[in-house]
Amino acid sequence: MAALQEMFNVRGRSVIVTGGASGIGRAYAEVMADNGARVCIFDRDAGNLDVVVKELQRDGADVWGQALDVSDRAGMAAAFDAVAERHGRIDVVFANAGIDAGPGFLSTTGERIPEGAIDVLDDDHWDRVIEVNLTSVYTTVKHAARHMKATGGGRIIVTSSIAAQINEAIVGTPYMPAKAGVDHFVRQMAMELGAFGILINCISPGPFMTNIAGGRLKIPLDRKAFEAQSLIGRIGDTEDIKGLALYLASPCSSYVTGSQIVIDGGAMHRIA
């Protein structure tokens, strides 16, 4: 048992979670804190961030937060430096922050959605989705690598999506190319950063009950459609992702890098 605990040991590790005040990001922060890591949560929602930090601190966790938008590049550099100064190093980074891309061009019942069509797609909306869902991953990895190179290595875990690997008419068009870019970027970074002891991998969720999908899952027809994608007949809960997050952050995954690990209840087999 002691050997197993050591394989998954993250006690004392310095951890950053972007977009960690809700959804999958919160699950990452919780599992790291529950297992003794020192965690800093980045989130643009200052109010929710404060609530989550206080809840975790009440359980005795070493957790604090920094309120910022991941698209603020100067702010991200300063936030990483603040964590390194407070913790002495940065060991694990979860690049998780993301936003919804709105409706696709079809509803779950197959009806056309005018505002989801490419010819009327708002340019600013496209730019914002790409900025948060792709470019912020570059910014996060850039500063993670800067600090991890100085201390001999670390782990970077990026939240992608099965949307990177499929075509899905009910999802907003900018979302898929953003996540596909994330997957390719992670593979490229694995090639570059492995020599420095930095391992980088993707977690690729399918249908999950998160703040991004939550609005659509309140619509009965949409919820039923997402549930039908899973081979086990349900939508993923954020608790389902904690074990995978712990695995990728721990010594247990010391020979894993450049991977896209799908956690989707078998949805990709159904969709394919």
Active site residues: 175
The answer to whether residues 66 and 82 touch, using CB atoms and an 8 Å cutoff, is: yes
Which tokens is 6 given? Answer: 């050591």
Strands (DSSP E) contained in the chain are 14-18, 38-43, 62-67, 92-95, 154-159, 198-205, 260-263
C-alpha 23/C-alpha 125 separation (Å) is 22
C-alpha 189/C-alpha 138 separation (Å) is 10
Strands (DSSP E) contained in 48-178 are 62-67, 92-95, 154-159
The answer to whether residues 162 and 206 touch, using CB atoms and an 8 Å cutoff, is: yes
The answer to whether residues 147 and 89 touch, using CB atoms and an 8 Å cutoff, is: yes
Which tokens is 29 given? Answer: 């922060």
Its sign, for the CA torsion 232, 204, 216, 32, is positive
CA-to-CA dists, residue 183 to 43, 103, 220, 240, angstroms: 22, 22, 31, 21
CA-to-CA dists, residue 251 to 7, 13, 37, 203, 209, angstroms: 5, 11, 14, 17, 29
